[in-house]
Amino acid sequence: MPGSLDGVTVIDFTEYVAGPYGTMMLADMGAEVIKVEPMEGDHWRRHQPLLPHESRYFFGVNRGKRSVAVDTETPEGRAVVDDLLRMADVVILNYRQGTIDRLGLDYDSVKAVNPSVIYCSISAFGQKGTYSSRPGFDILVQAMSGIMDFERKVDRGVPVGIGTFAPTDLSSGMFAAFAVASALYRRAMTGEGECIDLSLFASALAIQYRPMLSLEAFDRESRQHTVAAIEAARENGMSYEDILALRTGMGLQRAAALYYRVYRTSDGLVCIACLNNRQRRRVRDELGIEDPAVDGAAFTPAAELGADEQEQLIQAFEEGFKQRSTDEWLRRFEELDVPAVPVVMTEEVFDSEQVRANDRLHRMQHPELGEIVQARSPIEMQNTDVGAGWPAPKFSIDVEDILGRAGYSADQLRELAEKGVVRLPGDQD
């Protein structure tokens, strides 16, 4: 079956994670994604490589694409780029604005070559403000957007960001794919192209649906009080951990914390997630512990306990969970309709029954590295194929085919390769 974006050509100038993840999503939906790489390759190819130009980091976000290496900073290379732009339905890049201008890949320049193009630029911090021209990666945006602080994870006295995945990178890629698909639909209706502007920083704010929501009549005064307290604490030389404790005392909801966390059992770990008092009461009653904060329809702040009583309650919960095995708790919580799962190690996920039952893994063959197993696209469609069938491309492996379609003969390609404008497959560093 064809993919829903079958026939759409994407010229991909992105590197690292955010842009490549978004274009991989488009490839999974059937688009032909042509990755235009620097002559030395995407930087992610060189991060802990397994072979020259081949790394697991690159594999993770470039499935289903084609690769062409071009020196975009030479006049001849720029001519090649313009020929590729004429082929494009979509152009995506994630350079800094200064780099975009230097390469002549700003929207107006690209539109002059291809008037109906869908153009998508992903920056770190947006096009305006003090940080607009600065480089940025996921951990920096986590720090700047409040995500790192909200996680409340501390190591050696400083906050630690989310490390299991790159939330601002991946959400930006998803927003980019969504915006491109929306713009393609609009172009089908109107014939007009589009200029899309995204940033990791904007995505970071958007995905914080809870902390970045303020009901000003209720929250503004409290927020200003907290900010003033933080500023005073910094001026007095308080450590981050002390400031974190200060803020925690100002607003942590104890009931929610007790019923939304991991507990040790007699033989392992179990994670519960109770988001209403009905579920919380079932856990409380099963443990045989009193907790008046969850008696009503909603958590009641007035029912919170003092620090010593709170610690006693936490310890009672922890000791209660240790009295049964993980399987025993899971069976009982299923009977009670309480959301709960076992806590597993990453290595166990590959052979998980839930993963197998839902066929969530791609199995693809790499010509040199053998089988590559990778998570599939989470999207399933009944009448449309989803999921590219091959791994990330070898470096510039498609240059002859792609540029041949753009009108370049084999002799022209060899001449360009000798001048260092493009790389042919097999060229050595």
Q: How many helices (H) and strands (E) are present in the chain, helices listed first?
A: 19, 13
What angle do helix axes 240-251 and 216-235 make, rounded to 10 degrees?
150
Closest CA to 268 of 336, 352, 341, 317: 341
Q: What is the mean pLDDT of residues 365-387?
A: 85
Confidence of residue 345 (pLDDT cuts 50, 70, 90): confident
pLDDT score of 251: 47
Residue 302 or residue 344, greater confidence: 344
Gap between the Cα atoms of 417 and 70, Å rounded? 9
Strand order across the beta sheet in which 194-199 lies: 66-69, 32-37, 9-13, 90-93, 118-123, 194-199
9-206+359-418 and 253-356 share one fold: no
> Percentage of the chain with pLDDT > 90?
60
Mean pLDDT of 82-111: 94
Rounded mean pLDDT of the chain?
90
Give the pLDDT of residue 156. 83
pLDDT tens profile 219-264: 888 888 888 988 888 888 888 888 887 776 544 445 558 898 999 9
Whether the predicted model's global pTM rises above the 0.85 cut: yes
- How would residue 428 be classed by pLDDT, with cut points 50, 70 and 90? low
DSSP state of 383: S
Tokens of 296: 């009503």
Is beta strand 361-366 parallel, antiparallel or unpaired with respect to 340-342?
unpaired
Choice between 135 and 15, residue whose per-residue pLDDT is larger: 15
Average pLDDT on 400-426 reads 95
* Topology (CATH level 3) of domain 9-206+359-418: Rossmann fold (3.40.50)
- State what percent of residues in the chain have pLDDT above 70: 95
Name residue 121's beta-bridge partners.
Answer: 93, 197
Do 287 and 230 touch, CB atoms closer than 8 A? no
**pLDDT tens-digit map of 317-328:** 999 999 999 999
The residue with tokens 């980091």 is 57
- pLDDT reported for residue 351: 86
Of 33-42, 351-360, 404-413, least confident by mean pLDDT is: 351-360
Dihedrals phi, psi of 66, to nearest 5 degrees: -120, 155
Q: In the predicted model, is pLDDT for residue 209 greater than 70?
A: yes
In single-letter form, the type of residue at position 394 comes to K
Q: Which CATH number fits domain 253-356: 3.65.10.10, 3.30.1540.10, 3.30.950.10, 3.60.9.10?
A: 3.30.1540.10
Judge whether residue 120 has pLDDT over 80: yes
Asked if pLDDT for residue 302 goes beyond 50, the answer is no
Q: What is the mean pLDDT of residues 130-151?
A: 89
Output the pLDDT for position 317: 96
Residue 297 confidence (pLDDT) above 70: yes
What average pLDDT does range 358-372 have in this prediction? 88
CA 394 to chain centre: 24
Q: Is the predicted pLDDT of residue 197 greater than 80, yes or no? A: yes
Q: Which of 85-89, 138-142, 151-155 has the lowest mean pLDDT?
A: 151-155
pLDDT given at position 158: 86
Residue ranges per domain, the chain?
Answer: 9-206+359-418, 218-252, 253-356
Q: Residue 429 — very low, low, confident or very high, per pLDDT cuts 50/70/90?
A: low
Q: Residue 254: what pLDDT? A: 52
**Three-state secondary structure call for residue 373:** strand
